[in-house]
């Protein structure tokens, strides 16, 4: 499908490409610096940690916010570190819950032009410019993912973790989808479209669990994520 755009490579375009290549060389060092800082900081944490993520747009009076805060508090009381994306909404709720229990509250903040401001409940902050570096930190230092209702960013993190576990690029860990009313449509689509057409196997549906009851979620984490 044609976009209708035509590009002409002239001197100005060649100059732009030349400078972009030079910029890419320096960008490599910025990427390496983010990896080094992330690895050095998070490798010093000698406890099991759980990532909680979901919409940055969830308000403090929303039931999802209250649930995320409660889950994080309970897990922190049992000694788990809590990792989030460091922003508002569900991320703030989870860091706030960890703070309520005086637990380890980690925020992996991403530099964005809109929405993402670090929340005040993080006691171990890290800032990232690159999404893919940040996602490596989530995958490497989390022992479980709790997925609250969210948007494109939450879906991206969910599918990244499912893909890496399915392809055996990382060790399996618990993935919990919280809220059957939110996730049921997607789960049904997995089964009716992906499994039925052979795009994924029936066993791939076992890569995640769906829960509504916070007691069941905490119990499941405690049984599957041990120190």
pLDDT in tens, 107-142: 999 987 765 678 999 999 999 999 999 999 999 999
Do residues 91 and 119 touch, judged by C-beta distance below 8 A? yes
What pLDDT score does 23 carry? 72
pLDDT band per the 50, 70, 90 thresholds, residue 144: very high
Per-residue pLDDT band at 22 (split at 50, 70, 90)? low
Q: Which range, of 10-19, 59-68, 160-169, 218-227, averages the lowest pLDDT? A: 10-19
pLDDT (average), residues 143-166: 97
Look at residue 13 and tell me whether its pLDDT is greater than 60. no
Residue 20 has pLDDT above 80, yes or no: no
Q: What pLDDT is attached to residue 2?
A: 46
Residue 58 pLDDT greater than 50, yes or no: yes
Distance between CA atoms of residues 200 and 24, nearest Å: 37
Answer yes or no: is pLDDT of 3 > 80: no
Does pTM top 0.75 for this prediction? yes
Determine what percent of the chain is predicted with pLDDT higher than 90: 81
Q: How far apart are CA 104 and CA 95, in angstroms?
A: 9
Top-confidence residue, 46 or 52? 52
The mean pLDDT value for 64-79 works out to 98
Task: Tell which residue, 50, 61, 115, has the closest CA to residue 84.
Answer: 50
Range 30-33 contact pairs with CB under 8 angstroms and sequence separation of 24 or more? 30/129, 30/130, 31/130, 31/133
pLDDT score for 7: 45
Tens digit of pLDDT for each residue in 171-218? Answer: 999 999 999 999 999 999 999 999 999 999 999 999 999 999 999 999
- Whether 150 and 54 have beta carbons less than 8 Å apart is answered as yes
Q: What is the pLDDT of residue 21?
A: 54
Strand partners, 30: none
Q: What 3 state SS string does the chain have? A: CCCCCCCCCCHHHHHHHHHHHHHHHHHHHHHHHHHHHHHHHHCCCCCCEEEEECCCCCCCCCHHHHHHHHHHHHHHHCCCEEEECCCCCHHHHHHHHHHHCCCCEEEEEECCCCCCCCCCCCCEEEEECCHHHHHHHHHHHCCEEEECCCCHHHHHHHHHHHHHHHCCCCCCCCEEEECHHHHHHHHHHHHHHHHCCCCCCHHHHHHCEEECCHHHHHHHHHHHCCC
């Amino acid at each position: 499908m044609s976009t209708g755009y035509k590009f002409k490579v002239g001197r100005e375009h060649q100059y732009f490409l030349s400078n972009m290549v030079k910029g890419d060389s320096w960008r490599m060092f910025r990427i390496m610096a983010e990896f080094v800082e992330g690895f050095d900081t998070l490798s010093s944490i000698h406890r099991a940690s759980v990532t909680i993520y979901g919409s940055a747009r969830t308000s403090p009076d929303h039931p999802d916010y209250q649930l995320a805060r409660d889950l994080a508090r309970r897990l922190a009381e049992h000694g788990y570190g809590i990792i989030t994306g460091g922003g508002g909404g569900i991320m703030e709720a989870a860091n706030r819950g960890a703070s309520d229990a005086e637990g380890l509250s980690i925020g992996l903040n991403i530099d964005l032009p809109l929405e993402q401001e670090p929340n005040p409940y993080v006691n171990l902050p890290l800032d990232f410019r690159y999404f893919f570096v940040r996602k490596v930190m989530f995958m490497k230092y989390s022992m479980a993912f709790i997925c609250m209702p969210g948007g494109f960013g939450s879906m991206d993190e969910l599918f990244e973790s499912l893909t890496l576990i399915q392809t055996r690029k990382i060790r399996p860990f618990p993935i919990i989808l919280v809220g059957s009313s939110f996730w049921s449509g997607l789960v049904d689509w997995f089964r009716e479209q992906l499994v039925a057409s052979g795009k994924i196997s029936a066993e791939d549906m076992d890569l995640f669990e769906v829960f509504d009851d916070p007691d069941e979620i905490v119990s499941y984490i405690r049984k599957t994520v041990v120190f």
